[in-house]
Structure 1
Amino acid sequence: MEIRSQLFEGCSLEATAKDVFAFPHAQATMLQGVPVNIAFIGNETFDDRLNAIDSLLTLGASPRPIISARRIASREELGSVLARSTEERGVREVFLVGGDPSTPKGPFTDSMDIIKGDFLIPKAIETVGITGYPEGHPHIEDEVLWTYLKLKVNTLLALGFKVEITTQLSFDINTVVTWIERVRSEGIHVPIRVGIPSPTSVEGIINFARICRVRTSVNLLQRFGWQLTSILTRVGPDRFLDSLFLETLRRDLGDIRLHIFPLGNLFKALTWFQEYECGK
């Protein structure tokens, strides 16, 4: 029960600004103290994301803006976004990603450029989140990923920040657990958030996996233990979560928490996970 409580009580969410604006304020208690990563997507502006921070603060959540290095146009733009988030709104956590564009929009090629550029101020920011890739990355060699993961964690810790790793979406519990064990064997002992999808159709999961650059298919989902009968079947991560709880009991995985990718509706995703937690 202690492990279950740790996983659920420390759970975080991913949301677009649009998702945040659609969340019913009458259900604000569901978001009290919950860390929410605000996605950095091309069809939403900085002002949209800042307004989402305001909405989340009103709902009692803990907003964590995602900073996408390759989408930042200039050092001045980055400084402005950080200042408006931290100094004006009191945000204490940010999440760094490299970003999808093949050609950087500005001077930053990856999140390490931001980390080593003195843009993050420990007095203003307490925790920095970074991404982990249990299934690898289609454009980056595995050993490069490991080298940079260790470099980012060690650099951020040396600068005085708390660090968290959130895994990219994966449907194979064995791959995730094996990856976590290697992280620990590399001497990295910061909290790890395991990224999982909320219930949706098989088609919705496969489409989201493609966006996340994660290889999957109906056959692979079935092989990994996901129960489905057709492309329109609504499925959730029940078995994945059951297996994760079991593995955290069997192995010394350290501080493990959950990160939920709500596919389509933030309120419905939170409702499902609360019902799952209470039902087990």
Structure 2
Amino acid sequence: MHRSAALLEDLSLETTARDAATLVARAADVPVGTRVSITHLSTESAAERREAAAAAGRVRLVPVPHLAARRVASEAELRATLEGLRAHHAQERLFLVGGDPRVAAGPYGSALDVVTSGLLPAAGVIEVGIAGYPAGHPAIGDAFLGAALRDKAAAIADQGLAGTITTQFSFDAEAVAQWIERVRETGIDLPIRVGVPGPAGVRRLVAFARRCGVATSAGIARKYGFSLASLAGTAGPDRFVADLAGRLEAAHGDVRLHLFTFGTLDAAIDWAVRARRCSVPRIVENGH
């Protein structure tokens, strides 16, 4: 199997509750068992996220609801959230983030606090996803990020849970491969899903990159396949995926892709269908 094809195997998607209807409508184009992350947006309610997760499950996809620790106001709310997901058969896999608020609404200041609460196994959670930042974080130093990743990986194992790491998206395949190497050197062997943006307008990509603190220098943008001098047109992850695949070796461990949709779920699914059929290198070379 070509390395690009291996990366595309078990590709996961990230979407929002409001895109649940589109996901259901396009379910025939998404392989059974595909993981679908449902983001924790402040503009969507817990009920909407639960229903989106349930909808994914009904079309034989695997829901992965996000939970933002600093948005949880109390232990009672965390218990209720987990119980609500369980009632919708969507509790087995969670993705935990600290969340945007600078000040925690309750006792959970980080994803680690939720893991060490001890509530997850009893609620039927079997796997916890955590975030990785190959390009760093605009508000958190690299040393702290590295220590936090190790602490969360250890705590997940201590709770008897499986773990995965999903990275923030990046435009620099070389930097991502090097980051994975550093993670493996610390002894973390969790599967890693590398975040990539689905096809989107260049202006939209740059806006999301700035919002997330992702580097977009002229050189990096050019390697990815767009120019900062002109924000017209669209860009997809073809070149990035082929570049990353060429850099991965056995020492990088279990590495897959996670497709951020940025409000363009239809386009992301279309890209995934085409990429699986043609293989990424062929798409890049022939311009399909």
TM-score category, normalised to shorter length: over 0.9
Question: After superposition, what is the alpha-carbon deviation per residue over 1:141-198, rounded to whole angstroms, capped at 9, x for unaligned?
Answer: 1111111111110111122111100011111111101100000000011100000000
1:226–1:235 Cα contact (<8 Å) kept:
yes
How big is the alpha-carbon RMSD for the aligned residues of Structure 1 and Structure 2? 1.9
Q: Is the 8 Å Cα contact of residues 33 and 62 (structure 2) preserved in structure 1? A: yes
Residue equivalent to 1:147 = 147
Q: Is the 8 A contact 1:31 1:59 kept in 2?
A: no
Which one-letter code corresponds to 2:270 in the other structure? T
Q: Decide whether aligned partners of structure 1 residues 24 and 83 sit closer, same or farther in structure 2, where only a CA change above 3 A counts.
A: closer
C-alpha contact 1:12 1:34 (8 A) present in aligned 2? yes
Residue number in structure 1 paired with 2:261: 262
Equivalenced residues, count:
278
**Partner deviation per Cα, 1:179-222 (whole Å, 9 max, x = no partner):** 000000000111000000001111010111123232325x2543
Asked whether the 8 Å contact 2:166–2:195 carries over to 1, the reply is: yes
The AA in structure 1 aligned to 2:271 is: W
| Partner AA of 1:68 in structure 2 | A
SS in 2 for 1:23: helix
Q: Report SS of the residue matched to 1:214.
A: coil
Worse-matched range after superposition: 220-229 or 256-265: 220-229
Counterparts of 1:183 and 1:122 in 2: how far apart (Å)? Answer: 30
Structure 1 gap segments, 5+ residues each: none
TM-aligned CA distance change 1:115 to 1:139, over 3 Å: same
1:29 Cα deviation from its structure 2 partner: 4.9
Instruction: Tell me the TM-score normalized by structure 1.
Output: 0.93
Residues 47 and 184 from structure 1, CA distance in 2 versus in 1: closer, same or farther, beyond 3 angstroms? same
1:272 counterpart = 2:278: no
Output the amino acid matched with 1:168. Answer: Q
Contact 1:72/1:105 (<8 A) preserved: yes
Q: Does 1:116 align with 2:116?
A: yes
Is 1:126 aligned to 2:126, yes or no? yes
Deviation at 1:26, TM superposition (A): 5.8
Q: Tell me by how many angstroms 1:118 deviates.
A: 1.1
Tell me if 1:96 matches 2:116: no
1:15–1:262 contact (8 Å) kept in structure 2? yes
TM-score by length of 2: 0.90
| Structure 1 residue runs of 4 or more that deviate by more than 6 Å after TM superposition | none
CA distance in 1, matches of 2:166, 2:91: 19
Separation in 2 of the partners of 1:116 and 1:174?
34
Q: Residues 123 and 68 from structure 1, CA distance in 2 versus in 1: closer, same or farther, beyond 3 angstroms?
A: closer
Measure the CA separation in 2 of the matches of 1:204 and 1:270. 18
Task: Judge conservation of contact 1:87–1:124 (CA < 8 Å) in 2.
Answer: no
Q: Does residue 84 of structure 1 match 2:84? A: yes
In the alignment, is the contact (CA less than 8 A) between 2:4 and 2:241 conserved in 1?
no
In structure 2, the partner of 1:58 is: 58
Between 2-11 and 39-48, report the one with greater CA deviation. Answer: 2-11
Question: After superposition, what is the alpha-carbon deviation per residue over 1:89-134, rounded to whole angstroms, capped at 9, x for unaligned?
Answer: 2531000000011122222111111111112116711111000011
Mapped partners of 2:16, 2:240: distance in 1: 25
How big is the shift at 1:140? 1.3
Q: Distance in 2 between matches of 1:238 and 1:122?
A: 41
**CA contact 2:224–2:237 (8 Å) conserved in 1:** no
Structure 2 distance, partners of 1:253, 1:76, is: 40
1:232-276 CA deviation, whole Å, 9 max, x = no partner?
Answer: 211111110111111124x62110000000122223211112202
Change in 2 beyond 3 A, CA 1:26/1:141: closer
Contact 1:19–1:265 (CA under 8 A) maintained in structure 2: no
Q: CA deviation at 1:39?
A: 0.3
Please tell me whether the aligned partners of residues 70 and 110 of structure 1 are also in contact (alpha carbons under 8 angstroms). Answer: yes
Letter in 2 for 1:272: W
Which one-letter code corresponds to 1:93 in the other structure?
R
For the residues of structure 2 that align with 1:198 and 1:224, how far apart are their CA atoms? 16
